[in-house]
Amino acid sequence: MFKIKDGELGIVNINNMIPTPISCLTEVLPLVKDKQYRKLIIEQTTYLNNHKRELLDKVNFFMLKYDTNKLSKRTKDRCCNFRLLEEKCKEYEKEEIAI
């Protein structure tokens, strides 16, 4: 996991990441009406943008352990099947381009 501002603003569960085509992403901030929740999202986004390298390094380290089967069974059991999800994401992108 990656703690956002030492966990103060939440965490990113790296083991549950899913690949998503950029064309499928939607900005949610304009839809958020609750002021406290909106502030939290802005603070989380700002922190993640400012610590992008640190997050990506942690993701790459995690994926290396995942790919080389060096995660504990408990952790591995809680992970998405990243390679299958990446394959399906690429298939989806090819289908979208063909349409």
pTM above 0.75, yes or no: yes
pLDDT digits (tens, 9 = 90+) for 9-66: 999 999 998 999 988 888 888 788 999 999 999 999 999 999 999 999 999 999 999 9
Distance between CA atoms of residues 80 and 84, nearest Å = 9
pLDDT at 30: 78
Query: Would the pLDDT of 3 be above 90?
Result: yes
Name the pairing type of β-strands 11-12 and 2-3: antiparallel
Distance between CA atoms of residues 29 and 25, nearest Å = 12
The residue among 22, 20, 1 whose CA lies nearest residue 10 is: 1
By three-state DSSP, how is residue 72 classified?
Answer: coil
pLDDT at 28: 80
By three-state DSSP, how is residue 47 classified?
Answer: helix
